[in-house]
């Protein structure tokens, strides 16, 4: 696996237009259109936790079941998508295995998302505060490809690009992307934390003359900095932080602008 060009995509907000719903457990209110990382970063010790299961199983669970029982019954395969400070999966599980929060809180957010999004991409998760020892939010997300995504992938394919995906989501959620041009299952990196995305970029730089990272959130910051060309897309979220803007080489407001940037950068690289 080597060549001139590798393009690595984040998924939520980068390839897919997302609809997110969170429930604030303490206030018992639903919040639409939230940015999940902003909720995570509100305080230290928080982590966005993604159970590696089909959301259908969540919907089939008795709503009054506490999360402690739900996770004791075998759903212990959880991954941390991002965290405000270093948090381990064992720390997260210790909170989940004592939580009295009911599964109905997950079901409520998932139902709201399913009512708005096609069955292309769904995921559900929780924000766990290990310092406070509690689940603060349940979160569900649905998405559909941005209208220009297929055209962008076709143009990149025409340049000879190998397409990779690095996302904090589970493989189950990401498997639908294999329907898109040029995306192969073996080039999808699920459950990727921010530093893992960075390592993926660095590894690919050993095999490709130009490695491009395309992302939209704080969990892409290190990968954007590590890439030969880091492209921040603000098509969904037009309020990026200063540190995220500084981590990128280019900022675009529409994914369709990506091939032009890549083509220009490729033309400036001398043949080896």
User: pLDDT tens-digit profile of 102-141?
Assistant: 999 999 999 999 888 877 788 899 999 999 999 999 999 9
Residue 272: pLDDT over 70: no
Q: What number is the average pLDDT over the span 40-64?
A: 92
Percent of the chain with pLDDT over 70: 96
Q: What is the pLDDT of residue 2?
A: 59
Whether 200 maps to a domain, the answer reads yes
Tell me what pLDDT residue 39 has.
95
Residues 99 and 183 in one domain: no
Give yes or no: residues 209 and 164 share one domain: yes
CATH of the domain at 206: 3.40.50.1000
Question: Is residue 192 located within the same domain as residue 131?
Answer: no
pLDDT in tens, 238-263: 688 899 999 999 999 999 999 999 99
- How are strands ordered across the β-sheet holding 229-233? 188-189, 162-166, 3-9, 208-215, 229-233, 250-252
Number of domains in the chain: 2
Q: Of 143, 167, 201, which closes a domain?
A: 143
The reply to whether 40 and 66 lie within a common domain is yes
pLDDT above 90 (res 74):
no
Indicate the pLDDT class of residue 162, thresholds 50, 70 and 90. very high
Residues 66 and 175 in one domain: no
Residue that terminates a domain, selected from 124, 143, 162: 143
Q: Is the pLDDT score of 75 beyond 80?
A: no
Whether 42 shows a pLDDT value over 90: the answer reads yes
Domain-embedded: residue 272: no
Alpha-carbon distances of 72 from 93, 247, 253, 254, rounded to whole Å = 10, 41, 44, 44
| Model pLDDT, residue 172 | 81
> What confidence tens digit (pLDDT) does each residue in 183-231 have?
999 999 998 989 999 999 999 999 999 999 999 988 899 999 999 999 9
Q: Return the exposure string of 65-74: e unless at least 16 CB atoms fall within 10 Å of the residue's CB, then b.
A: eebebbbeee
Candidates 157, 87, 156; CA nearest to 127 is 87
Please report, rounded to a whole number, the percentage of residues in the chain having pLDDT higher than 90.
74
pLDDT computed for residue 171 by the predictor = 86
Does 233 lie in the same domain as 135? no
Among residues 142, 161, 141, the alpha carbon closest in space to that of 152 is found at 161
In a domain? residue 51: yes
Domain holding 218, by residue range, is: 3-15+145-267
Same domain assignment for residues 163 and 121:
no
Looking at every residue in the chain, the average pLDDT score rounds to 92
Do 81 and 128 share a domain, yes or no?
yes
Are 29 and 132 found together in one domain? yes
27, 105: one domain: yes
């Amino acid at each position: 696996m080597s060549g001139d060009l590798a393009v690595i995509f984040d998924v939520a907000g980068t390839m897919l237009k997302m609809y997110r719903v969170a429930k604030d457990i303490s206030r018992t209110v639903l919040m639409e259109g939230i940015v999940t990382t902003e909720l995570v970063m509100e305080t230290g010790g928080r982590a966005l936790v993604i159970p590696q299961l089909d959301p259908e199983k969540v919907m089939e669970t008795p709503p009054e079941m506490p999360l402690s029982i739900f996770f004791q019954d075998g759903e212990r395969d959880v991954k941390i998508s991002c965290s405000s400070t270093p948090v381990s999966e064992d720390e997260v599980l210790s909170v989940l295995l004592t939580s009295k929060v009911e599964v109905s809180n997950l079901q409520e957010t998932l139902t709201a998302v399913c009512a708005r999004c096609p069955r292309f991409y769904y995921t559900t998760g929780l924000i766990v505060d290990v310092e406070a020892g509690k689940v603060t939010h349940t979160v569900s997300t649905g998405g559909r490809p941005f209208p220009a995504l297929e055209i962008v992938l076709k143009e990149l394919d025409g340049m000879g690009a190998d397409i990779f995906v690095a996302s904090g989501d589970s493989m189950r959620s990401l498997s639908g992307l294999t329907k898109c041009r040029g995306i192969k299952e073996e080039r999808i990196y699920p459950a990727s934390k921010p530093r893992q995305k960075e390592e993926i970029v660095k590894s690919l730089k050993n095999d490709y003359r130009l490695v491009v990272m395309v992302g939209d959130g704080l969990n892409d910051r290190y990968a954007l900095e590590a890439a030969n060309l880091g492209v921040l897309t603000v098509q969904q979220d037009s309020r990026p932080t200063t540190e995220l803007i500084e981590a990128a080489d280019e900022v675009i407001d529409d994914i369709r602008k990506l091939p032009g940037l890549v083509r220009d950068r490729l033309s400036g690289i001398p043949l080896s």
